[in-house]
Amino acid sequence: MAQEVLTNTGESIAVPDGLAGVASDWSADKEAFGVPWGKAMMWIFLVSDTFIFASFLTGYMTVRMSTTVPWPNTSEVFALTIAGQHIPLVLIAIMTFVLITSSGTMAMAVNFGYRGDRKKTAMLMMATAVLGAMFVSMQAFEWTKLILEGVRPWGNPFGAAQFGSTFFMITGFHGLHVSVGVIYLSIVAFKVWRGDYARKGNYQIVEITGLYWHFVDLVWIFIFALFYLW
Amino acid sequence: MAHAEGQQHPIKIYLWIWLLLFVLSAFSYMVDYLHIQGYLRWTLILIFMFLKAGLIVSVFMHMAWERLALVYAILVPPLCLFVLVGLMATEADYTFLTRLAFFAK
């Protein structure tokens, strides 16, 4: 199925799909990506962010593989006793579910944005921001608990000293991304609510904000698997 | 049909993916809760991780519906990170052996 695109001179031309499409999109006299520039830029930013987080996680892998001291048992370090029940890793599990829920509400917000439903879009984006704030609060609680237990970037009572440095670095940088995302979402949600995008008839910005938010969730999935579960 | 008006898809798809993500996360958590150890643990963790990542990127971030030129531009460069991981794993292994030889009592 060939798509039609407008050239700079306003003619409509058909562009091929598949590999031939890759060649023609890059070489033709038109935008390389058939998306608004804001979206292409957000994607390129996310690629660079991927490299940052991948470097952190690779660094974590390197120190964890090379230490001769046993690595702390994350299942126990992040366990909580709730109502007399000792549950391993429970806080992290709850944080994971909160973040996935927020990804769901964000996806719905994008959908309602393109339907032109101003109120539902703003409400869903605010819900996403609130869930994000919940996530950061739980992370603050987790940090406080670990610091009180004596975990420091240079050592901890549970095992290898590198545990503290990688933990604070990786979750700290991710938490910063979530916090920035909450602010970003709140600003865009406010502008949606005020009707800025309804007036322009363009809700593209909601999808771009969504890309950032889903990326934050994506990074968490990797941290959850590689740092907490491994 | 070009999506000039942006990415618009039935809400049903999002709800299904959302549910799948919940189920897969529950599975990941169960790996720890049931104390599965060794290679089975690592394999399961990685499978669930890549499945969740794939669902988010392809559906929530709409990669499944983008032009191939954009998909390649975004998804191919990160592949070189596997080279970094490979190099660092070798390096870490060497450091570990050196430490065993010189420091371990």
Contacts of B46 in chain A (CB under 8 A): 225
Tokens representing residue A54 in the block:
């991948």
Averaged pLDDT, groups of 10, chain A, 230 residues long: 69 82 76 82 95 96 93 87 82 93 94 91 96 96 93 91 94 96 96 90 91 96 93
Domain count, chain B: 2
Are B41 and B89 contained in the same domain? no
The model's pTM: 0.88
Q: Which residue of B has its CA nearest to A229?
A: B32
User: Are the Cβ atoms of B56 and A214 closer than 8 angstroms?
Assistant: yes
pLDDT value for B3: 44
d(CA A141, CA B88): 33
Phi (first) and psi of residue A160, to 5 degrees: -50, 135
Same domain flag for B20 and B36: yes
Local structure of residue A166 (DSSP, 8 states): H
Chain length of chain A: 230
Q: Is A207:A106 a contact under the CB 8 Å cutoff?
A: no
Alpha carbons A153 and A161: distance in angstroms, whole number: 7
Partner-chain residue, chosen from A35, A211, A224, that has the shortest CB–CB distance to B28: A224
Chain B segment 10-39 residues within 8 A of A by beta carbon are 11, 14-15, 17-18, 21-22, 25, 28-29, 31-33
ipTM of the complex model: 0.91
In this structure, are B101 and B53 located in the same domain?
Answer: no
For residues B7 and B54, membership in a common domain is answered with yes
Token match 């709730």: residue?
A: A82
Residues 6 or more apart whose CB falls under 8 angstroms from that of A79 comprise: A86, A87, A88, A89, A90
Burial of A225 (0-12, 13-18, 19+ CB in 10 A): buried
CB contact under 8 A, A33 and B73: yes
**Domain identity same for B41 and B6:** yes
CB atoms within 10 A of CB A166: 20
Q: Which ranges of chain A would DSSP assign to H, the alpha helix? A: 18-27, 37-66, 74-77, 90-114, 118-148, 162-194, 196-200, 204-223
**CATH 1.20.120.80 domain residues, chain A:** 36-229
Tell me the fold of A36-229: Four Helix Bundle (Hemerythrin (Met), subunit A) (1.20.120)
List the domain range (segments joined by +) for residue B21: 1-66
pLDDT per residue as tens digits for the range A149-191: 999 999 899 989 999 999 999 999 999 999 999 999 999 999 9
